[in-house]
Structure 1
Amino acid sequence: MKILLLSLVLSLLLAGQSEAQQILSELSGEWRTHYIAASNKEKITENGPFHIYFRYIEFDEGDGTVDAEFYLKKGSMYVSFLSHTDAGQNEVQILHVSKSSIIGHVKNVDEDGNETDVVGIINDKLSDSDFERFKEETKQKGIPEENIVNFIDNDDCPEE
């Protein structure tokens, strides 16, 4: 999987959502994974391919690029990634962008042909309205509420 956020931004730009394009440069900075939900919860639990902790994102409007730092937890260790290629084939769709959050959807088909829907929210500070929007998007993708995993309260990844 390419960097989730890079794919989200590219799909956003291709979709021509001008409001979102205007705020991309304002979104650079520290970001955190708050919640991820998946139709197959194993994909987002510890050691799963979508158990991702975002740290920093920088948008470059001029170059049309995104630099992102995120961690995957492997056992008791955290591994820093710029890309992640062992999750299978993925279709990425941006569902919502605001000045404080990005909600994205990934349709994953793993090496065995199993399909999983994943919805995640990353942001700098989670508002009640952002969380409600995340839950709505999760429900629309057919993911049960009990498959929502709170990442922010369990984030013990290193700061550097």
Structure 2
Amino acid sequence: MKVLLLSLVLVLVCAAQETPAEIDPSKVTGKWRTIYSAADNKEKIVEGGPLRCYNRQIECSDDCEYLSISFYVKFDGRCQFFSETLKRQEGGVYFIEFAGTNYLQIIHVSDNILVFYFENNDGQKITKVTEGSAKGNSFTDEEFQKYQQLNTERGIPNENIENVIETDDCPP
């Protein structure tokens, strides 16, 4: 009886958890430029940091079952290109090995902005990161406020926001 009661409580707790809003796959695919990045461990996303990514192209296929991402990272001031196709895991997260183990999720998408949240485990520490990308070269004030709200919800200090587009001199 105790097991049955415990199972019922677990089901109710899980059902009460906020489920992320469904992502519209038609808004995900396109050319995206990273505008902002924020992390609870800022050294990972500063210029020259291992998680400072410059997005270029994101494609969603099979209702976002697969996510293809093309981006650059600078090593010693030189742009290195990466292109990965990720398969969605349980809970709507994607797994990628890059500067450690990363579980990433699209947490917001609109006509102009797309925000990723990911957790990076480099073997010593877990770093929470958001990346805000746009179809253009900037966010509106409202889009920036939304980005700040998403950081706050995930415990990432808004004073750790880096303006990534200012250092993006990698090829288009």
Give TM-score scaled by structure 1 length. Answer: 0.76
1:98 aligns with 2:99: no
* Root-mean-square deviation over aligned CA pairs: 2.3
**Change beyond 3 A, Cα 1:99–1:63:** closer
Aligned counterpart for 1:136 among listed residues 146, 149, 154: 149
Aligned position for 2:14: none
1:49 aligns with 2:50: yes
Aligned partners of 2:128 and 2:20: how far apart in 1?
24
Q: Give the fraction of aligned pairs with identical amino acids, expressed as a percent.
A: 35
Aligned position for 1:155: 168
Aligned partners of 1:16 and 1:130: how far apart in 2?
19
Aligned partners of 1:52 and 1:76: how far apart in 2?
13
* Alignment deviations for residues 97-153 of structure 1 (CA, whole Å, 9 cap, x no partner): 2122121211222122x1211111112132222211111111222222221100112
Partner secondary structure for residue 93 of structure 1: strand
Question: What does residue range 23-34 of structure 1 map to in structure 2 within 5 Å?
Answer: 24-34=25-35
Q: Post-superposition, which runs of at least 4 consecutive aligned residues in structure 1 deviate over 4 A?
A: 15-18
**Change beyond 3 A, Cα 1:90–1:99:** same
Aligned partners of 1:108 and 1:62: how far apart in 2?
25
**Change beyond 3 A, Cα 1:111–1:153:** same
Kept in 2: contact 1:57–1:69 (CA 8 A): yes
Unaligned 5+ residue runs, structure 1? 1-14
Deviation at 1:46, TM superposition (A): 2.7
Deviation at 1:63, TM superposition (A): 8.4
1:122 aligns with 2:123: no
Instruction: Give the counterpart letter for 1:119 in structure 2.
Output: T
Partner secondary structure for residue 82 of structure 1: strand
* Aligned length in residues: 141
1:145 aligns with 2:158: yes
**Change beyond 3 A, Cα 1:136–1:78:** same
Aligned partners of 1:42 and 1:97: how far apart in 2?
26
Structure (1 or 2) with the larger CA radius of gyration: 2
Kept in 2: contact 1:25–1:61 (CA 8 A): no
